Every structure is written in C-alpha cells, then in structure tokens.
Structure 1
Amino acid sequence: MDKVYVEGMRFYGYHGAFKEENELGQRFYCDIIMELDAEKPGTTDDLDDTVNYALVYESAKEVLEGEPVKLVETLTRKVASLILGRFDIVHAVTVKVTKPDPPIPGHYDSVAVEIRRERGFDGT
C-alpha cells in the first residue's frame, strides 16, 4: 500500500480534562498518514483521483478546533473516522495528535496519541 503524509498541522482548541484547558485553550498538532493505491493518481495526474491535502487539513481542523472533548484519544479517533468517511480512496489511516506542554505535574515536552484504523474497523 502506498502512503500519503500530511504532517505538522497546528491548531488551537479547547479540549482537556481540566476546566482551565476548556477556558483558555491550547495548541494541538496533528500528523496523518493515509494508506491508498497511488497508481491511478500517479498515472492520471488528476487531483480528483487522490486525496486533496487541503481537505485533509480542513477535516483535522474541524475536529481539533471543534466541539471540546476531554481526551486526546477522542480527538484522534474522531479525525481518523472523518478521514475514512470522506475519502473513499483511503484504505487505512494513522493519526497522531500531540498536545504540547500538557498541564500536568512534572516536565513534559508533550503527550500524544497515535491510532491506526482500517476501512470497516469502525463501520465505514
């Protein structure tokens, strides 16, 4: 399976288990790897035959800047489900959502959740 990477997307959202996170908000980063057969788009050179990176970005933005949730796991699952639901060419997707500088005791650069979902795994 071929892969398309959209990495380093940055968003500002109001997700988290703490009240302050929901009120003040914070940064979130997102990386997406989509598994697909790139033979046709590689031959036709037609954007309609593959995934449009701008639409992938908008899908991640919809979730990460959208309705607040408590867990990074929830955000990650929602992004993966949206990608599989919107792009029929994608057979599987790996999504990593990173929360830099989490408001927890200790010294952390970031926390992150990465999941991989295949078409049919969640009903799509």
Structure 2
Amino acid sequence: MNYTIIRIKNARFYAHHGVLDSERMSGGLFEIDAEMTCDVTEAETEDNLKKTLDYEKAYNFIKEVVSSEKFFLIEALAYRIALKIIKNFNVVQKVVIKVRKPSPPLGGLTEYVEVEHSEYRHTEKQEPS
C-alpha cells in the first residue's frame, strides 16, 4: 500500500485558549499545522476528489475545533483536532497536528511554544511510519 502525505501549513486562528484568565478573556493567535498520511491510491488513479482527503473540509474541521471550543492547554487542542480528523476521514491513516502559540506569556521574549500530537487509525493493518 502506498501513502501520500497531505499538509495544511500555518493555518491561523484567533481564539480564547490558555491557562491564564487574561488569555481566555482577550484571546490570541494560534497557528496550526496538519500532516495527514493517507491512502489515496484510488484518487491518484481515478483523479477523483471523493477518493481523497478534501483539504478544505479538513481545514474547516480544524477551524471548528479551534474556534468553537475552549481549552486550557494547547496539548488538548492538538489532541481534539487530531481525533476529529481521524474520525471524519477514512483515508487518513495517521495525522500529526502541531499547535503553536506565538509570544506566550512566559516572562521573557519567546517566538512561540509548540506541541505536536500524533494519532493513528486503529486497524488490523500495520500503521504507516
């Protein structure tokens, strides 16, 4: 079986996540990367959108989680996005979600903090590496 990686890079959203009350009240910028390992063999041979990952739909699922739910931790945000993608797209065998929080309140200058979460489809087949 062949796998194709489809990526959404640096999707940006304004949302109200964080541990501090000030973060949850005023909100801030969050950046998301999604890397989805897919079995799209049929899509590649048939040139058919219905046989692959529609990345506009994937983007909208990411946007929905980031915008409509509130999290204390970006770890929890990354986990929820990964689960939503795995559950809604049968072609996705593995998803890696990175969530970045630019200029976090650490008491010093920091470009961003980032978490990365990987989720695998649980099947009898061997997971892609």
For the superposition of Structure 1 and Structure 2, which TM-score range results when normalised by the shorter chain? Answer: over 0.9
Residue 121 of structure 2 aligns with an amino acid whose one-letter code is R
Q: Provide the residue aligned with 1:42 in structure 2.
A: 44
User: TM-score if structure 2 supplies the norm length?
Assistant: 0.90
Q: Provide the residue aligned with 1:28 in structure 2.
A: 30
Displacement of 1:40 in angstroms is: 1.1
Superposed counterparts of 1:1-124, under 5 Å? 1-120=3-122
- Please give the root-mean-square deviation of Cα atoms over the aligned residues, in Å: 1.2
Displacement of 1:80 in angstroms is: 0.2
Of all paired residues, the percent bearing the same amino acid is: 33
Task: Provide Cα deviations, 1:57-108, integer angstroms capped at 9, x if missing partner.
Answer: 1111111112211000000000000000100110110000111111121110
Unaligned runs of 5+ in 2: 124-129
Unaligned runs of 5+ in 1: none
Displacement of 1:120 in angstroms is: 2.3
- Whole-Å separation in 2 of the counterparts to 1:64 and 1:41: 29
Q: Provide the residue aligned with 2:126 in structure 1.
A: none
- Whole-Å separation in 2 of the counterparts to 1:67 and 1:89: 25
Q: How many corresponding residue pairs? A: 121
- Whole-Å separation in 2 of the counterparts to 1:66 and 1:112: 21
